[in-house]
Structure 1
Amino acid sequence: MLTVAALYHFTRFADPAALKGPLARTACAHGVRGTLLLAAEGINGTIAGTRRGIDAVLAHIRALPGCAGLEWKESAADAMPFGKMKVRLKREIVTMGQPDVDPRASVGHYVEPADWNALITAPDVAVIDTRNDYEVAIGSFAGAVDPGTRSFRDFPAWWRANADRFAGKRIAMFCTGGIRCEKSTNWLLSQGVGDVFHLKGGILKYLEDVPARDSLWQGECFVFDGRVSLTHGLQQGRHGLCHACRRPLAPEDRERPEYEEGVCCHCCVGEYDEADRARFRERQRQVARGELKFEGIVLSPGRESPCTP
C-alpha cells in the first residue's frame, strides 16, 4: 500500500522559484510522485509514495518559511496514482482570480466533521458546494447548492448574480480538501456576508471521520489522481476517467454508445473535431502498446524521467 498525502498551506514565500528545485529533488530522491504547486501565497498539492518517502517530503515542506504548522490528509492507494513528480510555479495555489483575497487575514468559522450534519440541516443555513460542475456531478451533500461553475474563477461572478437568494441565511461551504473554502469564505466576508462557515478538512476529512450510517454525503468524491473517486472510509470509488475531457465516468457511462476509450465520452462527444479525435486515437494506440501512460510518463527506457523539477 502507498500513502497519499493531500496538503495545502497559506504562507508568504518571498521567492517561490528558489524552493522549487530542492523540493523536487527531495521528492524524486524518495520515489514520491504527484503534483505540488508553489506560489507567493503558499503551497498546495497531492503526493504519493512509501511511508518513508512521504515523511521525508512532508519534513522538507514543514521546514519551508512559515510552514511549521502544515496540516495534511492521508489516504491509501493500492498502486501509484501518479505518473510523475511535478513541482510547478503558479500565480495562485488555487486560482480564484481575486487579488485582494488573503486567507491568512480571515476565513469563515471552521466546522469539524462531527458537527457538520447539525449545521447543514439547520433551517437558516444555505449549503454551497464550491467545486467545479464535473466534481459535483458524481457526489455532494444532500441539499447542497451547485453553482454549476466550470472553474473556481467563476465563483465570484456566480455569487454576485445569486447573492439575493441567500439573504438572511447563514452560509456553509465545502470543497474537497478545504483550500477553496479558505479563499471563498475570505472573499464572502469581504462582500459583507456575516455568518460564513466551512467544513474543516473538506469532504475528505468528513468521509474519513463520519461513518456511512451517519453520513449526509451522497455519491463519491472526485480526486485529482489516478484513483479518480473516493467513498466513505477513503476507499477507492467506482469511477474512471475520460482521457479526452478528464471528466469522471461511472461504469455505466463507459457502456454508452458515445464512449470510445481514450477518445470521447457522452460528456465531450460534441466538444472535439475529427482532427482532435485522430490525435486521441493515436495516443490510445500508444497506451495499448505500452509506450505511454495517460499521466504523461513514457515507459520506453530513456525517453522521459518520472521526475520533472
Structure 2
Amino acid sequence: MNRNLLAFAVAILLLTACRQQENAGQLRSINQCLQHSNVVMQMDIKLYDEAIVEKLKDPLTHGNAEIWGPRVAMIKKRVDSITGLIENLKIDLLKQSDSLRKANAPIVEQLYDINGKGNELVNKLAVFKESIPAIFRVNDFFDQPYLITDLKRDLGLILDSIPLLLGYRDSLSAAQRSIYKKKWMEESFAGNNSLLTMMQLNKIENEVLVTERSLVSYFFSKMPDVVTCGLRRQPHPFAIINSSYVKSGQTVEITAGITQIVASCQPKITINGKEIKVNSEDAAVYSFRAIGKPGKHKIPVLIDFYRSDGEQLRMTKNIEYIIAEK
C-alpha cells in the first residue's frame, strides 16, 4: 500500500512540475508510471476479492465474511461503474487524438463542460464518496456500542486519508457542491492537451483505486486473521498488458507471474509460444511490436505452477489488445 501511494505522490509532484514545461518525454514517462501503479493496485484488490470468496466457502470464516463481504461488493460495484467510464473516455481520447499524436481532441472540451462527460465523471465520483458512510452501515451493530464507536472513528480517518475529491464533504450545500464540481472539472481538464488529459484520467483512476483498496483492506481486516495467512500465501497467477489500445509499430509489454511466489511454485511461463524466465521481481516480461491490421489481436499466455499443497495447476489466458486505425 505504501509503495503504491508513494508512486502516486511522486507522479503527482512530477505532473505539477512538468505541466508548464510541456516536456512530452517526461510526461509520457509519468503517464506510464500511473498506468503501472493502477495495474498493480487492481491486482492487489483482486487478491482480496479472491480471499473473501474463499472465506465465504469456509465454515470457520463464513460468518464474518458474510457480514463484511457485501460491503466490499458494494464498493466494487461503484468502482466498476467509474473505471468503466474512465476506460471509455480514454479509448475515445486515443481515437480522437490519433493515439495522442494530435494535441487537441473534441473530448477534452467535453471533460470541462458542465453539461459534458466531465460532469458525468465528477458526479459518479461524488456519489461514490457520499456513499461511503452508508456502505459502513454502522447502525447494523446497534447492540455493540464499542464496535459502533470504532467504526465511526475509522470511517472519519478513512475519509480524511483517501485522495478522492479532496475537500468534498456531505456537509456542503447544493450550491457549494455545484461550485466544487465546476472548479474540479476546470482544474482537472481546462487548457490540457491530449497527453495531459490522458494523464489526468489515469490520475483520477488511481485516486479511485487507492480509495477502493483502503476500504477493501479495512473490511478485510475485520475478518479472522487466523486463516488469512494461509489464504494469502497461496500462489495466484496473473497476466497483464501495459496498454490495450496501441498504434501500429508501438512496443507493447505483457507481464506475467505468480503472486506470493515461493520456490515450490516452480513456475513455467509461456507467452506467445515462447518460454520466458522470471526476472528479479519474480515476473516474466515479454516485449513485442504491435504489427498487423487495425482491430483486435490476441497473445496466448500459459502459466504452469504448483500450489503449496503440491497440486499442479495451469492458467491459460488470451491477452487482448487493439491496434488503432491509421
Q: TM-score interval w.r.t. the shorter chain?
A: under 0.3
Which one has a larger percent strand, Structure 1 or Structure 2? 1
Larger Rg: 2
Which one has a larger percent helix, Structure 1 or Structure 2? 2
